[in-house]
Structure 1
């Protein structure tokens, strides 16, 4: 291994910091100064030409091609691959956070288990990544906790495809590859026997470890552990942690069957069965509401507003002095008086008064945010009145929400003439929630307005039916565009208040799609 390459440029990236070392490679933090983008740069450093070096080059190239072939929110994206001055390198997305191995280490230090809700949240993301790889005829062959990266928002990413194999084009001539504690029985015998269920077995070992605090097999040598995978039945995880539901134990042991044909056919099916076992035991809910990839999205930025709104925003910025504060308070007090009078005139006796009182509290809160908070006003639009502060519920209107999306942007359009409460709106892919309406200011989508998620580097026109852009999220990484067809074409589901409103197809590159919710009148 040659000295560290700090300060050297490989491709578009200047290496600024050594992050990790292992085997025949090192991982650096690199910076593309032209794009102002940081990356994790994996460098293969070979000192001499040899049969082993040639094999490593082939494996490294195979990893780069596999990453380039996969475009999935939970597979680490590749930015660049190349060879320069004898150094082969892959530039990938830099994940700020930790990995599952470090999480498990800390849990063991504290002598506790990971909460099932969080464990399922992580596992569901990795299961989706594995199924996407398998759909692309790619077998990872080294699924283990240290290859599961977790960012600061608990978004999980599958990394290190260094042992990847594509059965239709690759062969391994009987060599056993993998990490002993997580290797499948067939892979421990001969890596050429690896199948998609080999990755599911490795994922099963991770589930076993998350639930029990230890892997099923240990030993003094790699050979001893590998032989245990081949010959020994795993100890029932409930013998280690009695809190594991019986059905979950059955599911995990099925994933660890010696015969690949007796395991689950897909990773998502496996983890869904784990969730069902916990759900039936009353330990977790049926979905991942409040978790999921929405946490990894960047902050919402105000959308394009009419000139009247721009003038109002400018006026608010000029009112931030002592005199302005007094004016604001007087305005709020006046609004309170008006709203209180509205309460007094509310028909319907006690029930009507209570409902209007709640509306009044919401209106006062909205008015305060409009008068005192630039960002809230820019995202929410015109100040709320007693009427506009009560958005229509889905069951009270026949209006529909329209989704218009292509390979660079997805837009939610309120096609009705009233503003709609969208806190119950969620987009779901597989078992994971990828977006929910709570990301929209006040949980309201204004009449004729739209909300957009787009690739930061592209500007797109607003779709028909959208009179103005209420707000948007701009993402740098194309892998976050969950509606794109990344090869598996799994699409996504639009749910409203927990009920499926529409199934939306994935969109291929260069095309566009629309998807309309089927709402009751």
Structure 2
């Protein structure tokens, strides 16, 4: 792999590199200032094919041009806007909007340091916000190929999570809309050239997150992204990595025994279907998952009283003087009946 470009370097006499944001097997991402837009920050993704033979390099350029054209057509507030692409000194670059915030990987690290993980309400928030994004790209024939906690940013992650008396679950609305980054251009290239080159499994998909069809053959479908999203959610729920959640002997997911808080059977069933090993046994579209999530009863706002046990998925305002909602009392959270 080529060496990183030093900070302060100017690309195209326009983009001044400030620092490396991340690096993977097929490239690295830089934070840069765009002098053509009053030094506005942007993200520059360097695409590194990984092989040096001319035929492979030409294939890489063709795929790079194709992916740039596809990204240019995507206009979604939860996908960084494509700005430009260029080649300089044999290196290929994509320029996109910079998204301020924290990745879900970073957020999980922070939670685990406090002995916490993500709540069901937060996972539903993530899925309900991200599934329409996947649906939009899938309708354009685009497969992300690399959905994982590292590639999802909470666009408002600077807002601290709120808990009930320090032990309750966080309000999902305190997390910003998830932004999907780092489309798997390199993994698509690996899949396109797998028949003619010695390609490692890690080149075709992120181990533990990518499904078997992607790792073994490079094929990927909309349900492949749904599988990766489900793996992402169970990692966020348990704080445990996929390799520990999957039993290689039984070829089954054993994630439920690692949960540290209750999870509704409805969401459990949805995730287990998304995690099926055979693509045909999963949900086939993001819309199907959205419809399934809509059937899960939503937790009641303000149902957790001050000083409660913190079991509700979302926490409402404390000290509200509003009368109780006329709902059927929960066995755990008795509600005073409304006057008749």
Q: TM-score, normalised by structure 2?
A: 0.70
1:247-281 C-alpha deviation (Å, 9 max, x unpaired): 22111111111221221132243255346436279
* CA distance in 2 between partners of 1:248 and 1:238 (Å): 15
* CA distance in 2 between partners of 1:39 and 1:68 (Å): 15
CA contact under 8 A between 1:125 and 1:157: conserved in structure 2? no
1:21-77 C-alpha deviation (Å, 9 max, x unpaired): 333423222222232121011123579842554554455444423321322111221
Q: Structure 1 residue 158 and structure 2 residue 186: aligned?
A: no
Report the equivalent of 1:93. 97
Report the equivalent of 1:277. 296
Count of aligned pairs: 276
* CA distance in 1 between partners of 2:111 and 2:147 (Å): 20
* More off after superposition, 22-31 vs 124-133: 22-31
* One of 27, 30, 55 as aligned partner of 2:29: 27
Report the equivalent of 1:9. 10
Change (3 A) 1:26 1:195: closer
1:309-344 C-alpha deviation (Å, 9 max, x unpaired): xxxxxxxxxxxxxxxxxxxxxxxxxxxxxxxxxxxx
* CA distance in 1 between partners of 2:290 and 2:240 (Å): 19
Query: CA RMSD of the aligned region, Å?
Result: 3.3
* CA distance in 2 between partners of 1:99 and 1:57 (Å): 29
2:252 is paired with a residue of what secondary structure?
Answer: coil
CA contact under 8 A between 2:237 and 2:259: conserved in structure 1? no
Report the equivalent of 2:279. 260
* CA distance in 1 between partners of 2:19 and 2:258 (Å): 45
Report the equivalent of 1:83. 87
* CA distance in 1 between partners of 2:294 and 2:313 (Å): 7
Report the equivalent of 1:202. 228
Greater strand share, 1 or 2? 1
* CA distance in 2 between partners of 1:253 and 1:3 (Å): 41
* CA distance in 2 between partners of 1:48 and 1:279 (Å): 50
Q: Structure 1 residue 44 and structure 2 residue 42: aligned?
A: no
Gaps of 5+ in 1: 220-224, 291-521
The aligned runs of 1:291-370 (5 Å cut-off) are none
Q: Greater Rg, structure 1 or structure 2? A: 1
* CA distance in 2 between partners of 1:159 and 1:47 (Å): 21
1:34 is paired with a residue of what secondary structure?
Answer: helix
* CA distance in 2 between partners of 1:116 and 1:257 (Å): 21
Change (3 A) 1:48 1:214: closer
CA contact under 8 A between 2:238 and 2:255: conserved in structure 1? no
* One of 178, 191, 197 as aligned partner of 2:218: 191
Change (3 A) 1:133 1:95: same
Q: Structure 1 residue 218 and structure 2 residue 244: aligned?
A: yes
1:343-390 C-alpha deviation (Å, 9 max, x unpaired): xxxxxxxxxxxxxxxxxxxxxxxxxxxxxxxxxxxxxxxxxxxxxxxx
* CA distance in 1 between partners of 2:281 and 2:23 (Å): 37
Report the equivalent of 1:140. 144
Larger relative contact order (Cα-Cα within 8 Å, sequence gap ≥ 6):
2
Report the equivalent of 2:118. 114
* CA distance in 1 between partners of 2:120 and 2:226 (Å): 19
1:182 is paired with a residue of what secondary structure?
Answer: coil
* CA distance in 1 between partners of 2:289 and 2:209 (Å): 17
Change (3 A) 1:266 1:164: farther
Change (3 A) 1:7 1:136: same
